[in-house]
């Protein structure tokens, strides 16, 4: 007599397939994919007092002779702590360079930006271009540009670092290379580049790379925006996006930067979008409602609004404006036709 054939089952099929590096779509269950974007990134507020205390302590125990950078990174509690990122696509950190120090020259595939918070007179050199720092300046170091930071002033320099490191890591494209010397030779200043920018654009001439947005220009443009009828955005107040002056596009291909002003007692309306946004409070105090929770912030604090989380902003002061600096991954989503907004 023939022996009865063994009865197959889903569990047996799954096990046999797993041994062959296969998996069945049915393991997702009846629900399949979610009806809206989801993320492990959690809303989070980081207090400036905590960040600054850590930076000052690091200044005492971390030497730039033994460490590539003196940086404190913000870590999202919803993500894998071994990665230590603020979101799944963007990283925000804070860097501290003492008088007389130099953070050695290197380059890497993650694109980076510097938003200056404290100090004056130090500089970042990007591909031979010297960018002298002042509070509120935005300095770009796009992917694979050589850059180093030097503080020849008499006071510490402190700035915000923004990078697309998590995104580049997810694509398995992270690499870094040191420059042959500790510092790059300076070939020109960013002021020289900015002086030539207008004429170059008018005559259609390709200008050398543009890396430096001065706060004096940003602040002037922001206040001009306030005077424009109908300029207030109902979700973001007076929002001014940084633009690449050569392409007219976003600040960098993977990161869009902006500043926004919330007048005294201002409250915005609620909306949500598929991009993730990291905010830093440059001036003032206020609050942001994310979902059911309110996050009260003041100058120096940072917070993240994860993708597809409803949110709105409030200025808690009765007399002073609040100014937020922000960066988002919107350019990536728009390039992939995945960006959308709901209100």
φ/ψ (deg, to 5) at 72:
-110, 120
Q: Does position 197 have pLDDT exceeding 90, yes or no?
A: no
Q: Does position 204 have pLDDT exceeding 90, yes or no?
A: no
pLDDT in tens, 89-142: 999 999 999 999 999 999 999 999 999 999 999 999 999 999 999 999 999 999
Mean pLDDT of the chain: 93
Do 46 and 74 touch, CB atoms closer than 8 A? yes
Looking at residue 246, its pLDDT comes to 79
**Cβ atoms within 10 Å of 103's Cβ, excluding its own:** 22
Q: Does position 247 have pLDDT exceeding 90, yes or no?
A: no
Q: What is the b/e burial string over 119-128, where b = at least 16 CB atoms within 10 angstroms of the residue's CB? A: beebbbbbbe
Looking at residue 251, its pLDDT comes to 93
Q: Does position 2 have pLDDT exceeding 60, yes or no?
A: no
Q: Does position 88 have pLDDT exceeding 70, yes or no?
A: yes
Half-sphere exposure of 155 (CA within 13 A, CB side): 9
Could you write out the DSSP letters of every residue in 166-206? HHHHHTT---EEE-SSSSPPP-EEHHHHHHHHHHHHHTTPP
Name the region of 255 (left: φ>0; alpha: ψ -120 to 50; beta: rest). beta
Looking at residue 330, its pLDDT comes to 98
Q: Alpha-carbon torsion 157, 174, 80, 90, what sign?
A: positive
For 337, the token pair is: 């036709």
pLDDT in tens, 59-77: 999 999 889 999 999 999 9
Do 308 and 36 touch, CB atoms closer than 8 A? yes
Nearest Cα neighbor of 231 from 245, 244, 241 is: 241
| Average of per-residue pLDDT across 168-185 | 97
Residue 25 DSSP symbol: G
What's the burial of 133, exposed, middle or buried (CB within 10 Å: 0-12/13-18/19+)?
buried
| Beta carbons within 8 Å of 30's beta carbon, 6+ residues apart | none
Looking at residue 295, its pLDDT comes to 98
Looking at residue 32, its pLDDT comes to 73
pTM of the model: 0.93
pLDDT band at 181; cut points 50, 70, 90: very high
Angstrom distances, CA of residue 235 to CA of 41, 76, 311, 341: 22, 25, 9, 11
| Beta carbons within 8 Å of 50's beta carbon, 6+ residues apart | none
pLDDT in tens, 309-318: 999 999 989 8
Q: Which helix (H) or strand (E) holds 305?
A: strand 302-305
Looking at residue 208, its pLDDT comes to 64
Question: Which of 198-202, 208-212, 229-233 has the largest mean confidence?
Answer: 229-233
| Average of per-residue pLDDT across 301-308 | 98
Angstrom distances, CA of residue 257 to CA of 42, 113, 134, 239: 21, 9, 18, 10
For 199, the token pair is: 């004429």
pLDDT in tens, 251-282: 999 999 999 999 999 999 999 999 999 999 99
Do 108 and 175 touch, CB atoms closer than 8 A? yes
Flag the least confident range among 2-16, 52-66, 86-100, 157-171: 2-16
pLDDT band at 16; cut points 50, 70, 90: very high
Looking at residue 163, its pLDDT comes to 98
Could you write out the DSSP letters of every residue in 283-326? ESEEEEEETTEEEEEETT-EEEE-TT--EEEEE--SS--EEEEE
């Amino acid at each position: 007599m023939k022996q009865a054939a063994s009865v197959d089952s889903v569990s047996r099929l799954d096990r046999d397939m797993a041994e062959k590096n296969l998996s069945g779509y049915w393991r997702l269950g009846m629900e399949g994919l979610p009806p809206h974007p989801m993320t492990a990134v959690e809303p989070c507020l980081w207090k400036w007092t905590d960040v600054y205390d850590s930076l000052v302590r690091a200044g005492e125990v971390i030497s730039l002779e033994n460490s590539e950078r003196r940086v404190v990174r913000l870590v999202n509690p919803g993500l894998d702590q071994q990665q230590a990122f603020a979101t799944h696509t963007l990283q925000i950190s804070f860097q501290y360079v003492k008088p007389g120090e130099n953070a050695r020259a290197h380059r890497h595939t993650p694109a980076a930006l510097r938003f200056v918070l404290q100090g004056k007179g130090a500089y970042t050199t990007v591909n031979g271009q010297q960018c002298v720092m002042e509070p509120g300046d935005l300095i770009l170091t796009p992917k694979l540009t050589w850059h180093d930071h030097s503080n020849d002033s008499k006071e510490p320099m402190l700035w915000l670092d923004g990078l697309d490191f998590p995104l580049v890591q997810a694509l398995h494209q992270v690499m870094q290379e040191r420059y042959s010397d500790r510092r790059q030779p300076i070939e020109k200043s960013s002021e020289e580049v900015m002086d030539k920018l207008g004429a170059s654009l008018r005559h259609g001439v390709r200008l050398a790379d543009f890396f430096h947005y001065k706060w004096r220009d940003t602040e002037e443009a922001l206040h001009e925006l306030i005077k424009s009828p109908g300029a207030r955005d109902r979700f973001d107040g007076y929002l001014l996006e940084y633009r690449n002056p050569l392409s007219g596009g976003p600040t960098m291909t993977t990161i869009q930067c902006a500043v926004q002003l919330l007048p005294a007692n201002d409250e915005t309306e609620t909306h949500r979008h598929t991009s993730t946004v990291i905010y830093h409070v440059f001036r003032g105090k206020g609050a942001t409602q994310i979902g059911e929770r309110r996050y009260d912030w003041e100058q120096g604090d940072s917070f993240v609004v994860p993708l597809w989380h409803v949110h709105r902003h409030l200025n808690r002061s009765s007399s002073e404006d609040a100014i937020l600096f922000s960066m988002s991954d919107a350019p990536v989503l728009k390039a992939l036709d995945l960006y959308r907004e709901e209100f």
